[in-house]
């Protein structure tokens, strides 16, 4: 069993699909890792988000060999710092109550609650200047300049924003299938793929399904599959998503006055990971406006950025 006297750090990455937590010692050595369900409070509610965060924390403790009771009762606290990046938390109405809840239920000396985009950027470039573009269930871009000032674009949520996200692509795939059924749009194999996936007898039955956001986003792989089979409608949807995501990065390059600068633009999230077609189209659209931008895939999981921020916070406050 691990010693309760050691100073530990907790990093949490909470998104619309899953919650990942890492527990590490002062040297950054992993002690426990866990993955649970979604914890974006704007999408699943505060109770559900809190439940998944706590499940992830407790799972980390068990893997590390710490009894849960010891984590609550130890003095000083077992955790030196908690760094949490939670999707949707940049709204003050969401940030304040969730931070208060974390303080009550996860004992630590210091706390940092920020967005999932901020921890992904930390995982990509630490405290150096750069841009992160995330496309998962939702989408957002986040940047930090040489002086530490942060910028953001997108991420304003469904139904009004999140262009290029899994949800956006899934929604547009259903629309394309319905248009093909009406013969308002070109033929697409998405019609058959969606019916099979959702077990519909007819694509028009989709309008009565009351699909949740996750279910719509889960249609995105069908678009990738159809695009790989040469479906022109699916390929157009992929290109359209790539252009929307490139627009996020371009907006931040303009805000930071980096259009003629060699800047790292790091991509992350399931949409980018799943589709080389989207990755290539994203880079092509971006470089039309910013030829010197360095497009890269995120090499480290965002939770690593949360853990780095927690350790950094502990060093600053010690």
pLDDT at 144 over 60: yes
pLDDT at 43 over 80: yes
pLDDT at 70 over 70: no
Residue 10 confidence (pLDDT): 97
Residue 5 confidence (pLDDT): 53
Residue 3 confidence (pLDDT): 46
Comparing 89-93, 125-129, 208-212, 218-222, the range with the smallest average pLDDT is 89-93
187-221 residues labelled b (16+ CB within 10 A) or e (exposed): ebbbbebbbeebeeeebeebeeeebebbebbbbbb
CA neighbours closer than 13 Å in the CB half-sphere of residue 8: 29
User: At 262, phi and psi to the nearest 5?
Assistant: -80, 100
Residue 15 confidence (pLDDT): 86
pLDDT at 263 over 60: yes
Q: DSSP 3-state helix, strand, coil percentages of the chain (rounded to 5)?
A: 50, 20, 30
pLDDT tens, position by position, 268-313:
999 999 999 999 999 999 999 999 999 999 999 999 999 999 999 8
Q: pTM of the prediction? A: 0.86
Comparing 91-100, 165-174, 217-226, the range with the smallest average pLDDT is 91-100
Task: Please give the residue that has the higher pLDDT: either 184 or 26.
Answer: 184
pLDDT at 63 over 80: yes
pLDDT at 96 over 50: yes
Residue 62 confidence (pLDDT): 94
pLDDT at 1 over 60: no
Measure CA of the first residue to CA of the last residue in the chain; give whole Å.
27
- Measured between alpha carbons, how far is residue 306 from residues 26, 27, 82, 161 in Å? 14, 15, 8, 25
pLDDT tens, position by position, 240-258:
999 999 999 999 999 999 9
Residue 123 confidence (pLDDT): 95
Q: In the chain, where do the E strands start and end?
A: 8-14, 19-25, 30-36, 79-86, 108-114, 130-135, 139-144, 150-154, 264-268, 294-297
Residue 28 confidence (pLDDT): 85
Other CB atoms within a 10 A radius of the CB of residue 276 amount to 12
- pLDDT, mean of residues 15-24: 92
- Measured between alpha carbons, how far is residue 257 from residues 253, 260, 269, 292 in Å? 6, 8, 26, 13
Phi-psi region of 65 (alpha: psi -120 to 50; beta: other; left: phi over 0): left
Residue 75 confidence (pLDDT): 64
Chain-centre distance for alpha carbon 179: 31
- pLDDT, mean of residues 79-95: 91
CA neighbours closer than 13 Å in the CB half-sphere of residue 72: 7
pLDDT exceeding 90 applies to what percent of the chain?
78
User: At 152, phi and psi to the nearest 5?
Assistant: -140, 160
pLDDT at 74 over 80: no
pLDDT at 211 over 80: yes
């Amino acid at each position: 069993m691990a010693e309760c006297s050691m100073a530990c750090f907790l990093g949490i990455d909470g998104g619309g699909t899953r919650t990942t937590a890492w527990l590490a010692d002062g040297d950054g050595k992993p002690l426990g890792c866990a993955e649970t369900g979604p914890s974006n409070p704007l999408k699943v509610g505060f109770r559900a988000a809190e439940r998944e965060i706590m499940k992830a924390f407790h799972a980390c403790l068990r893997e590390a060999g710490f009894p849960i009771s010891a984590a609550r009762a130890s003095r000083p606290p077992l955790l030196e710092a908690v760094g949490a990046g939670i999707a949707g938390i940049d709204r003050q109405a969401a940030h304040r109550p969730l931070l208060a809840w974390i303080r009550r239920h996860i004992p630590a000396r210091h706390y940092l609650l920020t967005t999932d985009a901020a921890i992904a950027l930390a995982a990509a470039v630490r405290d150096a200047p750069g841009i992160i573009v995330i496309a998962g269930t939702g989408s957002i871009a986040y940047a930090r300049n040489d002086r530490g000032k942060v910028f953001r674009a997108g991420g304003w949520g469904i139904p009004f924003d999140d262009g290029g996200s899994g949800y956006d692509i899934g929604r547009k795939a259903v629309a394309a299938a319905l248009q093909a059924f009406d013969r308002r749009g070109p033929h697409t194999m998405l019609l058959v793929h969606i019916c099979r996936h959702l077990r519909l007898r007819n694509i028009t039955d989709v309008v009565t399904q009351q699909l949740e956001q996750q279910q719509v986003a889960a249609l995105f792989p069908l678009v990738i599959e159809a695009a790989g089979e040469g479906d022109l409608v699916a390929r157009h949807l992929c290109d359209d998503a790539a252009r929307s995501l490139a627009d996020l990065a371009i907006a931040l390059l303009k805000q930071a006055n980096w259009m003629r600068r060699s800047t790292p633009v790091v991509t992350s999230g399931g949409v980018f990971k799943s589709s080389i077609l989207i990755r290539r189209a994203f880079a092509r659209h971006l470089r039309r406006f910013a030829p010197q931008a360095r497009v890269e895939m995120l090499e480290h999981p965002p939770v690593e950025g949360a853990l780095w921020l927690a350790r950094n916070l502990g060093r600053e406050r010690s």
